Structure 1
Amino acid sequence: MTATTAPPRHIVLTGATGQIASLMVRHLTPHHRLTLTSRTPRRTLRWPGIRHLACDYDDMASIVDAFRGADALFVVTNDPTRPEHDRNIVRAAVEVSVSHIVKLSAAAVRDGAAHDLITEWQRTNEDRIKSSGIPWTMIQPRSFMSHALAWAPSIRSSGTTHALHPHSRNACIAPEDVAEVSARVLGEARHHSHSYQVTGPQALSAHEQSAVLAEVLGRPLTCQELSREEAHLTHARKYSPVMADALIASTERQLAGAKADVTDTVERLTGRPATTFAQWATRHKHRFVGERRPPRSAEPCPANGGVAGTPRLRCG
Protein backbone atom coordinates (compact mmCIF):
# COMPACT_ATOMS: atom_id res chain seq x y z
CA MET A 1 0.00 0.00 0.00
CA THR A 2 1.38 3.42 -0.88
CA ALA A 3 0.78 6.68 0.93
CA THR A 4 -1.24 8.02 -1.97
CA THR A 5 -2.22 7.18 -5.54
CA ALA A 6 -3.15 10.76 -6.47
CA PRO A 7 -1.16 12.83 -9.02
CA PRO A 8 1.88 14.66 -7.59
CA ARG A 9 1.02 17.66 -5.48
CA HIS A 10 2.92 20.45 -3.78
CA ILE A 11 2.78 19.72 -0.06
CA VAL A 12 4.06 22.04 2.67
CA LEU A 13 5.05 20.57 6.03
CA THR A 14 5.43 22.92 8.99
CA GLY A 15 7.50 21.94 12.01
CA ALA A 16 10.29 20.55 9.85
CA THR A 17 12.71 20.20 12.78
CA GLY A 18 10.26 18.07 14.78
CA GLN A 19 9.90 14.32 14.60
CA ILE A 20 6.69 13.94 12.63
CA ALA A 21 7.35 16.17 9.62
CA SER A 22 10.83 14.72 9.15
CA LEU A 23 9.47 11.17 9.37
CA MET A 24 6.76 11.98 6.81
CA VAL A 25 9.35 12.81 4.16
CA ARG A 26 10.06 9.15 3.42
CA HIS A 27 6.41 8.50 2.65
CA LEU A 28 5.81 11.63 0.57
CA THR A 29 8.93 12.20 -1.54
CA PRO A 30 8.21 9.43 -4.07
CA HIS A 31 4.86 11.00 -4.90
CA HIS A 32 4.92 14.74 -4.23
CA ARG A 33 6.91 17.96 -4.34
CA LEU A 34 7.71 19.03 -0.78
CA THR A 35 8.46 22.26 1.01
CA LEU A 36 9.47 22.01 4.66
CA THR A 37 9.20 25.04 6.91
CA SER A 38 10.51 25.73 10.39
CA ARG A 39 11.31 28.77 12.47
CA THR A 40 15.03 28.09 12.15
CA PRO A 41 17.05 26.38 9.39
CA ARG A 42 18.67 23.04 10.17
CA ARG A 43 21.51 21.63 8.14
CA THR A 44 20.60 18.02 8.97
CA LEU A 45 17.33 18.44 7.05
CA ARG A 46 18.90 18.76 3.62
CA TRP A 47 17.24 16.14 1.43
CA PRO A 48 17.78 16.15 -2.34
CA GLY A 49 14.92 17.78 -4.20
CA ILE A 50 13.19 19.10 -1.08
CA ARG A 51 12.96 22.80 -0.32
CA HIS A 52 13.49 23.75 3.33
CA LEU A 53 12.61 27.30 4.29
CA ALA A 54 13.22 29.17 7.53
CA CYS A 55 9.80 30.73 8.13
CA ASP A 56 9.02 33.42 10.70
CA TYR A 57 5.55 32.57 12.04
CA ASP A 58 5.31 36.11 13.41
CA ASP A 59 5.61 37.49 9.88
CA MET A 60 2.57 36.95 7.65
CA ALA A 61 4.52 37.77 4.48
CA SER A 62 7.07 35.07 5.34
CA ILE A 63 4.36 32.45 5.85
CA VAL A 64 2.42 33.42 2.74
CA ASP A 65 5.59 33.14 0.66
CA ALA A 66 6.32 29.69 2.09
CA PHE A 67 2.78 28.42 1.52
CA ARG A 68 2.25 29.87 -1.94
CA GLY A 69 1.30 27.20 -4.47
CA ALA A 70 0.64 24.55 -1.84
CA ASP A 71 -2.08 22.01 -2.55
CA ALA A 72 -1.99 20.58 0.97
CA LEU A 73 -0.57 21.77 4.28
CA PHE A 74 0.54 19.77 7.31
CA VAL A 75 0.32 21.91 10.44
CA VAL A 76 2.25 21.21 13.62
CA THR A 77 3.08 23.95 16.09
CA ASN A 78 4.87 23.64 19.39
CA ASP A 79 4.20 26.58 21.68
CA PRO A 80 0.85 27.14 23.44
CA THR A 81 2.17 30.45 24.76
CA ARG A 82 2.44 31.80 21.19
CA PRO A 83 -1.09 31.34 19.80
CA GLU A 84 -0.47 34.07 17.24
CA HIS A 85 1.66 31.59 15.30
CA ASP A 86 -1.33 29.30 14.85
CA ARG A 87 -3.57 32.19 13.83
CA ASN A 88 -1.04 33.41 11.28
CA ILE A 89 -0.60 29.97 9.75
CA VAL A 90 -4.33 29.58 9.14
CA ARG A 91 -4.65 33.15 7.80
CA ALA A 92 -1.82 32.49 5.35
CA ALA A 93 -3.37 29.19 4.26
CA VAL A 94 -6.61 30.99 3.50
CA GLU A 95 -4.82 33.79 1.65
CA VAL A 96 -3.03 31.41 -0.74
CA SER A 97 -6.07 29.08 -1.10
CA VAL A 98 -4.57 25.88 0.29
CA SER A 99 -6.88 22.99 -0.65
CA HIS A 100 -6.44 20.79 2.43
CA ILE A 101 -5.07 21.23 5.96
CA VAL A 102 -3.99 18.26 8.05
CA LYS A 103 -3.50 19.30 11.67
CA LEU A 104 -1.43 17.39 14.22
CA SER A 105 -3.50 17.83 17.37
CA ALA A 106 -3.87 15.61 20.45
CA ALA A 107 -6.26 12.89 21.59
CA ALA A 108 -6.98 14.88 24.75
CA VAL A 109 -9.18 17.32 22.83
CA ARG A 110 -11.90 14.64 22.95
CA ASP A 111 -11.76 14.45 26.75
CA GLY A 112 -14.37 16.76 28.26
CA ALA A 113 -12.50 16.69 31.57
CA ALA A 114 -9.28 18.02 30.01
CA HIS A 115 -8.93 21.79 30.42
CA ASP A 116 -5.17 22.27 30.76
CA LEU A 117 -3.32 24.89 28.73
CA ILE A 118 -2.09 22.50 26.05
CA THR A 119 -5.42 20.80 25.45
CA GLU A 120 -7.38 24.06 25.29
CA TRP A 121 -4.77 25.45 22.88
CA GLN A 122 -5.23 22.43 20.60
CA ARG A 123 -9.02 22.70 20.77
CA THR A 124 -8.82 26.34 19.75
CA ASN A 125 -6.50 25.46 16.89
CA GLU A 126 -8.87 22.76 15.66
CA ASP A 127 -11.85 25.11 15.84
CA ARG A 128 -9.98 27.84 13.94
CA ILE A 129 -9.09 25.45 11.12
CA LYS A 130 -12.62 24.03 10.95
CA SER A 131 -14.07 27.52 10.60
CA SER A 132 -11.51 28.63 7.98
CA GLY A 133 -13.43 27.25 5.03
CA ILE A 134 -10.51 25.01 4.04
CA PRO A 135 -11.14 21.24 3.98
CA TRP A 136 -9.46 19.73 7.03
CA THR A 137 -8.37 16.50 8.70
CA MET A 138 -7.34 16.21 12.35
CA ILE A 139 -4.73 13.71 13.57
CA GLN A 140 -5.16 13.22 17.32
CA PRO A 141 -2.42 11.00 18.80
CA ARG A 142 -1.85 9.77 22.30
CA SER A 143 1.56 10.44 23.84
CA PHE A 144 4.54 9.46 21.73
CA MET A 145 6.62 6.42 22.64
CA SER A 146 9.66 8.62 22.10
CA HIS A 147 8.94 10.33 25.42
CA ALA A 148 10.75 7.33 26.91
CA LEU A 149 13.98 8.68 25.43
CA ALA A 150 14.02 11.20 28.29
CA TRP A 151 15.02 8.23 30.46
CA ALA A 152 18.12 7.46 28.38
CA PRO A 153 20.62 9.40 30.55
CA SER A 154 19.41 7.84 33.83
CA ILE A 155 19.24 4.39 32.24
CA ARG A 156 22.86 4.70 31.18
CA SER A 157 24.07 6.20 34.46
CA SER A 158 22.08 4.32 37.10
CA GLY A 159 19.73 1.80 35.47
CA THR A 160 16.67 3.78 36.51
CA THR A 161 13.58 5.30 34.98
CA HIS A 162 11.20 7.67 36.77
CA ALA A 163 7.60 8.78 36.51
CA LEU A 164 4.73 10.35 38.37
CA HIS A 165 2.10 7.61 38.86
CA PRO A 166 4.28 4.92 37.24
CA HIS A 167 1.49 2.33 37.19
CA SER A 168 -1.02 4.49 35.26
CA ARG A 169 -1.41 3.52 31.62
CA ASN A 170 -1.24 5.39 28.33
CA ALA A 171 -1.93 3.91 24.87
CA CYS A 172 1.20 5.62 23.56
CA ILE A 173 2.00 5.55 19.86
CA ALA A 174 5.17 5.33 17.80
CA PRO A 175 5.95 8.64 16.06
CA GLU A 176 6.62 6.65 12.90
CA ASP A 177 2.97 5.52 12.91
CA VAL A 178 1.71 9.07 13.36
CA ALA A 179 3.87 10.18 10.44
CA GLU A 180 2.62 7.44 8.13
CA VAL A 181 -1.03 8.09 8.97
CA SER A 182 -0.52 11.82 8.42
CA ALA A 183 1.19 11.24 5.07
CA ARG A 184 -1.62 8.99 3.86
CA VAL A 185 -4.41 11.47 4.51
CA LEU A 186 -2.68 14.58 3.11
CA GLY A 187 -4.50 15.86 0.05
CA GLU A 188 -6.99 12.99 -0.01
CA ALA A 189 -10.60 14.19 -0.27
CA ARG A 190 -12.02 11.05 1.35
CA HIS A 191 -10.40 12.16 4.61
CA HIS A 192 -11.90 15.65 4.60
CA SER A 193 -13.82 16.56 7.78
CA HIS A 194 -12.50 13.52 9.63
CA SER A 195 -10.76 13.46 13.01
CA TYR A 196 -8.59 10.40 13.58
CA GLN A 197 -7.63 9.40 17.10
CA VAL A 198 -4.46 7.32 16.81
CA THR A 199 -2.98 5.13 19.54
CA GLY A 200 -0.56 2.30 19.97
CA PRO A 201 -1.84 -1.29 20.20
CA GLN A 202 -1.67 -1.49 23.99
CA ALA A 203 -1.94 0.84 26.99
CA LEU A 204 1.25 0.64 29.04
CA SER A 205 2.44 2.20 32.27
CA ALA A 206 5.90 3.63 32.84
CA HIS A 207 6.60 0.57 34.97
CA GLU A 208 5.63 -1.74 32.10
CA GLN A 209 7.61 0.28 29.57
CA SER A 210 10.63 0.00 31.86
CA ALA A 211 10.24 -3.77 31.93
CA VAL A 212 10.17 -3.85 28.13
CA LEU A 213 13.26 -1.67 27.95
CA ALA A 214 15.06 -3.91 30.44
CA GLU A 215 14.43 -6.89 28.16
CA VAL A 216 15.46 -5.02 25.02
CA LEU A 217 18.62 -3.63 26.63
CA GLY A 218 19.49 -6.85 28.44
CA ARG A 219 19.97 -5.21 31.83
CA PRO A 220 17.84 -4.70 34.95
CA LEU A 221 16.04 -1.39 35.33
CA THR A 222 14.27 0.13 38.32
CA CYS A 223 11.26 2.41 37.80
CA GLN A 224 11.23 5.04 40.53
CA GLU A 225 8.06 6.91 41.48
CA LEU A 226 8.27 10.69 41.56
CA SER A 227 6.23 12.80 43.92
CA ARG A 228 4.01 15.45 42.41
CA GLU A 229 6.47 18.10 43.57
CA GLU A 230 9.44 16.26 42.04
CA ALA A 231 7.62 15.82 38.75
CA HIS A 232 6.63 19.48 38.64
CA LEU A 233 10.22 20.54 39.37
CA THR A 234 11.46 18.29 36.55
CA HIS A 235 9.06 19.92 34.08
CA ALA A 236 9.83 23.41 35.40
CA ARG A 237 13.50 22.96 34.52
CA LYS A 238 12.48 22.84 30.84
CA TYR A 239 9.23 24.78 30.60
CA SER A 240 7.37 27.76 32.03
CA PRO A 241 5.37 27.25 35.26
CA VAL A 242 2.07 27.23 33.34
CA MET A 243 3.42 24.55 31.00
CA ALA A 244 4.60 22.47 33.95
CA ASP A 245 1.11 22.75 35.46
CA ALA A 246 -0.42 21.54 32.20
CA LEU A 247 1.86 18.51 32.04
CA ILE A 248 1.06 17.56 35.63
CA ALA A 249 -2.68 17.90 34.92
CA SER A 250 -2.23 15.60 31.93
CA THR A 251 -0.57 12.98 34.13
CA GLU A 252 -3.38 13.20 36.67
CA ARG A 253 -5.93 12.47 33.94
CA GLN A 254 -3.85 9.46 32.95
CA LEU A 255 -4.06 8.22 36.55
CA ALA A 256 -7.84 8.48 36.26
CA GLY A 257 -7.77 6.15 33.23
CA ALA A 258 -8.45 8.80 30.58
CA LYS A 259 -5.64 7.63 28.29
CA ALA A 260 -5.97 3.87 28.28
CA ASP A 261 -8.38 3.34 25.37
CA VAL A 262 -6.90 1.79 22.23
CA THR A 263 -8.03 2.48 18.66
CA ASP A 264 -7.46 0.52 15.44
CA THR A 265 -6.95 3.68 13.36
CA VAL A 266 -3.34 2.96 12.42
CA GLU A 267 -4.23 -0.44 11.00
CA ARG A 268 -7.32 0.87 9.20
CA LEU A 269 -5.38 3.65 7.49
CA THR A 270 -2.06 1.90 6.82
CA GLY A 271 -3.08 -1.74 6.40
CA ARG A 272 -0.64 -2.93 9.09
CA PRO A 273 -0.85 -3.24 12.87
CA ALA A 274 0.29 -0.35 15.01
CA THR A 275 3.88 -0.56 16.26
CA THR A 276 4.27 -2.09 19.72
CA PHE A 277 6.43 -0.46 22.36
CA ALA A 278 8.81 -3.44 22.21
CA GLN A 279 9.21 -2.99 18.45
CA TRP A 280 9.78 0.74 18.84
CA ALA A 281 12.30 0.25 21.68
CA THR A 282 14.23 -2.36 19.68
CA ARG A 283 14.36 -0.02 16.69
CA HIS A 284 15.78 2.77 18.90
CA LYS A 285 17.94 0.67 21.21
CA HIS A 286 21.08 2.53 20.12
CA ARG A 287 19.64 5.78 21.47
CA PHE A 288 19.24 4.33 24.97
CA VAL A 289 22.72 2.86 25.14
CA GLY A 290 24.44 5.89 23.58
CA GLU A 291 25.67 4.14 20.46
CA ARG A 292 25.96 5.78 17.08
CA ARG A 293 22.95 5.63 14.82
CA PRO A 294 22.90 2.52 12.58
CA PRO A 295 23.35 3.05 8.84
CA ARG A 296 20.21 4.54 7.29
CA SER A 297 19.67 1.44 5.17
CA ALA A 298 19.10 -0.50 8.41
CA GLU A 299 16.45 1.90 9.67
CA PRO A 300 12.75 1.49 8.93
CA CYS A 301 12.50 5.26 8.44
CA PRO A 302 14.53 8.39 9.25
CA ALA A 303 14.26 9.94 12.70
CA ASN A 304 15.43 13.34 13.77
CA GLY A 305 17.48 12.15 16.72
CA GLY A 306 15.97 14.61 19.19
CA VAL A 307 14.57 13.57 22.53
CA ALA A 308 12.05 16.33 22.77
CA GLY A 309 10.93 18.70 20.01
CA THR A 310 7.29 18.36 19.01
CA PRO A 311 6.45 15.26 21.06
CA ARG A 312 7.08 16.93 24.38
CA LEU A 313 3.80 18.86 23.93
CA ARG A 314 1.79 15.84 22.89
CA CYS A 315 -0.33 15.49 26.02
CA GLY A 316 -2.79 13.00 24.60
Structure 2
Amino acid sequence: MILVTGATGNIGSVLVRQLAERGLPVRALTRDARRAVVPSGVDLVEGDLGRPESLSPAWEGVDSLFLLQTGDEDTAAVLRSAGRAGVERVVMVSSLLAEIHPESPIGGGALRGEQTVRDSGMSWTILRPGEFASNALWWARAIREHGVVSAAGGDAGSPVIDPADIAAVAGRVLTERDHEERTYPLTGPAEITPRERVHSIGRVLGRDLVFEELSVEEERERLKQFMPEEVADSLVDIDSDADRGPGVRTTVEDLTGGAPRTFEQWVAEHADSFR
Protein backbone atom coordinates (compact mmCIF):
# COMPACT_ATOMS: atom_id res chain seq x y z
CA MET A 1 0.00 0.00 0.00
CA ILE A 2 1.23 3.49 -0.91
CA LEU A 3 0.18 6.43 1.25
CA VAL A 4 0.05 9.75 -0.60
CA THR A 5 0.15 12.92 1.50
CA GLY A 6 -1.01 16.19 -0.04
CA ALA A 7 -3.45 13.96 -1.90
CA THR A 8 -5.75 16.77 -3.03
CA GLY A 9 -2.96 19.13 -4.18
CA ASN A 10 -1.31 19.79 -7.54
CA ILE A 11 1.06 16.83 -7.29
CA GLY A 12 -0.73 14.44 -4.97
CA SER A 13 -4.06 14.41 -6.80
CA VAL A 14 -2.34 13.48 -10.06
CA LEU A 15 -0.20 10.85 -8.36
CA VAL A 16 -3.24 9.25 -6.72
CA ARG A 17 -5.01 9.08 -10.08
CA GLN A 18 -1.97 7.66 -11.88
CA LEU A 19 -1.43 4.96 -9.27
CA ALA A 20 -5.13 4.05 -9.25
CA GLU A 21 -5.16 3.78 -13.04
CA ARG A 22 -2.32 1.25 -12.76
CA GLY A 23 -4.39 -0.81 -10.33
CA LEU A 24 -2.00 -0.24 -7.45
CA PRO A 25 -3.19 -0.09 -3.84
CA VAL A 26 -3.16 3.57 -2.82
CA ARG A 27 -4.41 5.51 0.19
CA ALA A 28 -4.99 9.25 0.07
CA LEU A 29 -4.35 11.32 3.19
CA THR A 30 -6.41 14.46 3.65
CA ARG A 31 -7.31 16.77 6.50
CA ASP A 32 -10.98 16.81 5.50
CA ALA A 33 -12.38 13.69 3.85
CA ARG A 34 -15.76 15.38 3.32
CA ARG A 35 -14.23 17.78 0.78
CA ALA A 36 -11.81 15.38 -0.90
CA VAL A 37 -12.50 13.79 -4.28
CA VAL A 38 -10.49 10.69 -5.22
CA PRO A 39 -10.86 8.01 -7.90
CA SER A 40 -13.02 5.00 -7.26
CA GLY A 41 -11.17 2.30 -5.33
CA VAL A 42 -8.79 4.69 -3.58
CA ASP A 43 -8.78 4.43 0.20
CA LEU A 44 -9.37 7.84 1.76
CA VAL A 45 -8.24 8.58 5.31
CA GLU A 46 -8.20 11.69 7.45
CA GLY A 47 -5.04 12.83 9.19
CA ASP A 48 -2.85 15.87 9.74
CA LEU A 49 0.92 15.85 9.31
CA GLY A 50 1.00 18.63 11.88
CA ARG A 51 -0.42 16.17 14.42
CA PRO A 52 1.53 12.90 14.02
CA GLU A 53 -0.68 11.26 16.65
CA SER A 54 -3.58 11.53 14.17
CA LEU A 55 -1.80 9.37 11.58
CA SER A 56 -2.10 5.91 13.18
CA PRO A 57 -5.08 4.84 11.02
CA ALA A 58 -3.26 6.02 7.89
CA TRP A 59 -0.28 3.72 8.40
CA GLU A 60 -2.19 0.45 8.51
CA GLY A 61 -0.85 -1.84 5.77
CA VAL A 62 1.34 0.91 4.25
CA ASP A 63 4.85 0.07 3.09
CA SER A 64 5.64 3.19 1.00
CA LEU A 65 5.08 6.88 1.76
CA PHE A 66 4.92 9.86 -0.59
CA LEU A 67 5.73 12.83 1.60
CA LEU A 68 4.97 16.37 0.52
CA GLN A 69 6.08 18.82 3.17
CA THR A 70 3.99 21.91 3.85
CA GLY A 71 6.26 23.50 6.44
CA ASP A 72 3.67 23.05 9.20
CA GLU A 73 4.66 19.53 10.18
CA ASP A 74 7.33 17.94 12.37
CA THR A 75 8.89 15.78 9.67
CA ALA A 76 11.02 13.81 12.11
CA ALA A 77 7.96 12.96 14.24
CA VAL A 78 5.97 11.95 11.13
CA LEU A 79 8.76 9.63 10.00
CA ARG A 80 9.20 8.14 13.47
CA SER A 81 5.49 7.36 13.50
CA ALA A 82 5.72 5.82 10.03
CA GLY A 83 8.78 3.76 10.94
CA ARG A 84 7.16 2.37 14.09
CA ALA A 85 4.16 1.35 11.97
CA GLY A 86 6.36 -0.61 9.54
CA VAL A 87 6.60 1.82 6.62
CA GLU A 88 9.73 0.83 4.71
CA ARG A 89 10.37 3.58 2.20
CA VAL A 90 9.72 7.27 1.71
CA VAL A 91 9.77 9.46 -1.39
CA MET A 92 9.93 13.12 -0.40
CA VAL A 93 9.37 16.23 -2.51
CA SER A 94 12.04 18.78 -1.63
CA SER A 95 13.18 21.76 -3.73
CA LEU A 96 15.87 22.39 -6.31
CA LEU A 97 16.78 25.43 -4.20
CA ALA A 98 18.46 22.96 -1.85
CA GLU A 99 21.06 22.56 -4.60
CA ILE A 100 21.29 25.97 -6.25
CA HIS A 101 20.48 28.30 -3.32
CA PRO A 102 21.11 26.34 -0.11
CA GLU A 103 21.71 29.60 1.78
CA SER A 104 18.14 30.78 1.18
CA PRO A 105 15.35 30.15 3.73
CA ILE A 106 13.55 27.78 1.34
CA GLY A 107 16.73 26.02 0.22
CA GLY A 108 18.02 25.67 3.76
CA GLY A 109 14.69 24.36 5.01
CA ALA A 110 14.60 21.85 2.16
CA LEU A 111 18.08 20.61 3.06
CA ARG A 112 17.07 20.11 6.68
CA GLY A 113 14.03 18.14 5.61
CA GLU A 114 16.16 16.00 3.31
CA GLN A 115 18.56 15.19 6.12
CA THR A 116 15.67 14.14 8.33
CA VAL A 117 14.59 11.69 5.63
CA ARG A 118 18.13 10.34 5.27
CA ASP A 119 18.33 9.84 9.02
CA SER A 120 14.95 8.12 9.26
CA GLY A 121 16.25 4.57 8.88
CA MET A 122 13.89 3.98 5.96
CA SER A 123 14.77 3.52 2.32
CA TRP A 124 14.51 6.96 0.73
CA THR A 125 14.40 8.90 -2.53
CA ILE A 126 14.38 12.69 -2.74
CA LEU A 127 12.81 14.67 -5.58
CA ARG A 128 14.03 18.23 -6.09
CA PRO A 129 11.67 20.03 -8.49
CA GLY A 130 12.35 23.55 -9.66
CA GLU A 131 9.71 26.25 -10.07
CA PHE A 132 6.20 24.89 -10.65
CA ALA A 133 4.24 25.84 -13.78
CA SER A 134 1.24 26.10 -11.46
CA ASN A 135 2.79 29.15 -9.77
CA ALA A 136 1.22 31.05 -12.67
CA LEU A 137 -2.08 30.64 -10.86
CA TRP A 138 -0.92 33.55 -8.69
CA TRP A 139 -1.65 35.68 -11.76
CA ALA A 140 -5.08 34.22 -12.46
CA ARG A 141 -7.17 36.93 -10.81
CA ALA A 142 -5.20 39.77 -12.41
CA ILE A 143 -5.55 38.11 -15.82
CA ARG A 144 -9.28 37.51 -15.43
CA GLU A 145 -10.04 41.01 -14.19
CA HIS A 146 -7.49 43.24 -15.92
CA GLY A 147 -5.49 41.27 -18.50
CA VAL A 148 -2.30 42.60 -16.91
CA VAL A 149 0.40 40.77 -14.93
CA SER A 150 2.82 42.85 -12.85
CA ALA A 151 6.09 41.25 -11.74
CA ALA A 152 9.84 41.77 -11.69
CA GLY A 153 12.39 39.79 -13.68
CA GLY A 154 10.28 39.60 -16.79
CA ASP A 155 13.16 38.36 -18.92
CA ALA A 156 14.70 35.92 -16.42
CA GLY A 157 14.14 32.39 -17.71
CA SER A 158 13.31 29.36 -15.58
CA PRO A 159 12.57 25.78 -16.75
CA VAL A 160 9.23 25.55 -14.93
CA ILE A 161 7.88 22.06 -14.38
CA ASP A 162 4.33 20.76 -14.66
CA PRO A 163 3.34 19.17 -11.30
CA ALA A 164 2.01 16.24 -13.33
CA ASP A 165 5.60 15.43 -14.33
CA ILE A 166 6.65 15.43 -10.68
CA ALA A 167 3.81 13.00 -10.02
CA ALA A 168 4.93 10.80 -12.94
CA VAL A 169 8.46 10.60 -11.56
CA ALA A 170 7.14 9.90 -8.06
CA GLY A 171 5.01 7.08 -9.43
CA ARG A 172 8.09 5.49 -10.93
CA VAL A 173 10.32 5.72 -7.88
CA LEU A 174 7.55 4.53 -5.56
CA THR A 175 7.00 1.36 -7.59
CA GLU A 176 10.52 0.52 -8.77
CA ARG A 177 13.36 -0.73 -6.61
CA ASP A 178 16.47 0.88 -8.12
CA HIS A 179 16.00 4.43 -6.83
CA GLU A 180 17.05 3.99 -3.20
CA GLU A 181 19.30 6.70 -1.77
CA ARG A 182 18.99 8.82 -4.92
CA THR A 183 18.33 12.54 -5.21
CA TYR A 184 16.72 13.63 -8.47
CA PRO A 185 16.61 17.25 -9.75
CA LEU A 186 13.49 17.90 -11.85
CA THR A 187 12.74 20.67 -14.34
CA GLY A 188 10.61 21.34 -17.37
CA PRO A 189 11.90 21.04 -20.95
CA ALA A 190 13.01 24.64 -21.55
CA GLU A 191 13.62 27.94 -19.85
CA ILE A 192 10.71 30.33 -20.18
CA THR A 193 10.58 33.88 -18.86
CA PRO A 194 7.63 35.37 -16.95
CA ARG A 195 6.97 37.64 -19.93
CA GLU A 196 6.83 34.59 -22.24
CA ARG A 197 4.57 32.77 -19.79
CA VAL A 198 2.06 35.61 -19.83
CA HIS A 199 2.09 35.66 -23.63
CA SER A 200 1.64 31.88 -23.63
CA ILE A 201 -1.43 32.18 -21.42
CA GLY A 202 -2.75 34.84 -23.78
CA ARG A 203 -2.33 32.56 -26.79
CA VAL A 204 -4.29 29.80 -25.11
CA LEU A 205 -7.04 32.21 -24.04
CA GLY A 206 -7.11 34.06 -27.34
CA ARG A 207 -6.50 37.36 -25.53
CA ASP A 208 -3.84 40.05 -25.69
CA LEU A 209 -2.34 40.10 -22.20
CA VAL A 210 0.13 42.68 -20.93
CA PHE A 211 3.23 42.04 -18.84
CA GLU A 212 4.09 45.02 -16.65
CA GLU A 213 7.69 45.06 -15.38
CA LEU A 214 8.12 45.92 -11.71
CA SER A 215 11.33 47.09 -10.12
CA VAL A 216 13.04 44.75 -7.67
CA GLU A 217 11.89 46.88 -4.75
CA GLU A 218 8.31 46.99 -6.02
CA GLU A 219 8.33 43.20 -6.31
CA ARG A 220 9.80 42.86 -2.84
CA GLU A 221 7.02 44.97 -1.33
CA ARG A 222 4.36 43.09 -3.30
CA LEU A 223 5.55 39.69 -2.07
CA LYS A 224 5.66 40.86 1.54
CA GLN A 225 1.87 41.12 1.41
CA PHE A 226 1.63 37.33 1.02
CA MET A 227 4.62 35.84 2.83
CA PRO A 228 7.17 36.49 5.60
CA GLU A 229 9.64 39.27 4.87
CA GLU A 230 12.65 36.95 4.99
CA VAL A 231 11.13 34.63 2.38
CA ALA A 232 10.07 37.53 0.15
CA ASP A 233 13.58 39.01 0.26
CA SER A 234 15.08 35.62 -0.56
CA LEU A 235 12.80 35.01 -3.56
CA VAL A 236 13.57 38.42 -5.03
CA ASP A 237 17.30 37.82 -4.58
CA ILE A 238 17.04 34.40 -6.21
CA ASP A 239 15.08 35.72 -9.18
CA SER A 240 17.66 38.46 -9.73
CA ASP A 241 20.59 36.03 -9.63
CA ALA A 242 20.51 34.90 -13.25
CA ASP A 243 23.95 33.26 -13.02
CA ARG A 244 22.67 30.71 -10.51
CA GLY A 245 19.60 29.43 -12.26
CA PRO A 246 18.85 25.70 -12.26
CA GLY A 247 19.35 25.04 -15.97
CA VAL A 248 17.37 22.38 -17.80
CA ARG A 249 17.71 18.85 -16.39
CA THR A 250 16.80 15.70 -18.30
CA THR A 251 15.71 13.67 -15.27
CA VAL A 252 11.99 13.57 -16.09
CA GLU A 253 12.60 12.03 -19.49
CA ASP A 254 15.37 9.78 -18.16
CA LEU A 255 13.06 8.29 -15.52
CA THR A 256 9.70 8.24 -17.29
CA GLY A 257 10.72 7.76 -20.92
CA GLY A 258 8.59 10.74 -21.96
CA ALA A 259 9.51 14.36 -22.54
CA PRO A 260 8.41 16.75 -19.77
CA ARG A 261 5.37 18.82 -20.57
CA THR A 262 5.71 22.39 -21.78
CA PHE A 263 4.33 25.38 -19.93
CA GLU A 264 1.78 25.92 -22.68
CA GLN A 265 0.52 22.36 -22.31
CA TRP A 266 -0.01 23.05 -18.62
CA VAL A 267 -1.88 26.28 -19.44
CA ALA A 268 -4.14 24.50 -21.93
CA GLU A 269 -5.24 22.05 -19.22
CA HIS A 270 -5.90 24.83 -16.70
CA ALA A 271 -7.20 27.56 -18.99
CA ASP A 272 -10.50 27.87 -17.12
CA SER A 273 -8.62 29.22 -14.10
CA PHE A 274 -7.62 32.27 -16.19
CA ARG A 275 -10.95 32.94 -17.89
Task: Tell me if both proteins adopt one fold, taking TM over 0.5 as the criterion.
Answer: yes
Equivalent residue, structure 2, for 1:287: 273
After TM superposition, list the pairs within 5 Å mapping 1:58-69 onto structure 2.
Answer: 58-69=50-61
Distance 2:159 2:79 in 1: 30
**Could you state the TM-score of these two structures normalised by the residue count of structure 1?**
0.81
Instruction: Give the count of matched residue pairs.
Output: 274
Letter of the 2:176 partner, please give it. Answer: E
Greater Cα shift, 118-127 or 149-158: 149-158
Structure 1 stretch displaced more, 231-240 or 100-109: 231-240
User: Structure 1, residues 4-30: CA drift from partner, whole Å, max 9, x if none?
Assistant: xxxxxx000111232111111121013
Residue 270 (str. 1) matches residue 231 (str. 2): no
Are the aligned partners of 1:107 and 1:142 in contact in 2 as well (CA < 8 Å)?
Answer: yes
Q: Is the 8 A contact 2:187 2:249 kept in 1?
A: yes
**Pairing of 1:1-316 with structure 2 (within 5 A):** 10-29=1-20, 30-79=22-71, 82=72, 84-111=73-100, 113-252=101-240, 255-289=241-275
Deviation at 1:162, TM superposition (A): 2.2
- For 2:150 and 2:109, locate their aligned partners in 1 and report how far apart those are by CA, in whole Å: 28
Identify unmatched segments of 5+ residues in structure 1. 1-9, 290-316
CA-CA distance at 1:174 after TM superposition: 0.6
Amino acid at match of 1:274: P
Q: Percent identical across equivalent pairs?
A: 32
Task: Please tell me whether the aligned partners of residues 168 and 257 of structure 1 are also in contact (alpha carbons under 8 angstroms).
Answer: no
> Higher relative CO (CA 8 A, sep ≥ 6), structure 1 or 2?
1
Counterpart Cα distance in 1 of 2:200 and 2:231: 29
The 2-side partners of 1:72 and 1:226 are apart by 45
- Secondary structure of the corresponding residue to residue 191 of structure 1: coil
Give the structure 2 partner of residue 314 of structure 1. none
Q: CA offset at residue 158 of structure 1?
A: 2.0
TM-score (norm 2): 0.92
1:134-190 Cα distance to aligned partner (Å, 9 max, x none): 111111111111111221221222221222211111111011111111111104211
Alpha-carbon contact 2:131-2:161 (below 8 Å) kept: yes
Segments of structure 2 that go 5 or more residues without pairing to the other structure are none
SS in 1 for 2:103: coil
Secondary structure class of the residue paired with 2:74 = helix
